[in-house]
Amino acid sequence: MKTGLQLLIAGLLVVGAQQAWAQVDALQLRSWAAACANCHGTGGVAQPGMASLAGGSKDDMTKMLLDYKAGRRPATVMHQLAKGYTDEQLEQIAGYFAALKK
């Protein structure tokens, strides 16, 4: 047990710094995406009457969000919300939901 854990720690230390950065970004992205859950459900799995985002296509969702932002796609509210994010943020959030289970 002790030996296994020491090995694990040694392994983690090798790639430590890089993973630490990756993890901070992942947590930030998780928080950004969680702000969508009020309407689109926890983890992007929606209750009836709203679109689920979990497991969708990253490309399709990114295009949709950018179209909302540019006013190319009609909406009641998403065109106003999409303008609050950079294109990169929208793409990252789409990627986050695409990676979640339906």
Partner 1 sequence: MQRRKLLKTAAAGSVLGALGLVSGCATSGGGSGPKVVVVGGGYGGATAAKYVRMWSDYRFNVTLVEPNAAFVSCPISNLVLGGSKTIADVTTPYDTLSRRHGVRIVRDMALAIDPEKKVVRLASGTELPYDRLILSPGIDFMWEALPGMARPGAQDAVLHSWKAGAQTVALRRQLEAMPDGGVYALSIPLAPYRCPPGPYERACQVAHYFSKAKPRSKVLVLDANDDVTSKGPLFKKAWADRYAGIVEYRPKHNLVDVDAAARTLKFEFNDDVKAAVLNVVPPMRAGDIAFKTGLATANRRWCEVDFLTHESKVAKNIHVLGDAIQAAPAMPKSGHIANQHGKTCAAAVVALLGGKQPNALPIYNNTCYSFVSDEDVVHVASVHRYDAAQKTMLTVPGSGGVSAAANELEGKYAMAWARNIWADTLA
CB of 98 to partner 1, least distance (A): 19
CB of 68 to partner 1, least distance (A): 11
Amino acid at 14: V
**Chain contacts with partner 1 (rule: CB under 8 A):** 1-2, 5-6, 9, 12-13, 16-17, 19-20, 23-24, 27-28, 30-32, 34-35, 37-42, 46-50, 76-77, 80-81, 83-85, 89
Report the alpha-carbon distance of residue 21 to residue 13 in Å, rounded. Answer: 13
User: Which residues have CB under 8 Å from 102's CB, separation 6+?
Assistant: 45, 52, 54, 55
CB of 97 to partner 1, least distance (A): 14
Report the alpha-carbon distance of residue 21 to residue 35 in Å, rounded. Answer: 22
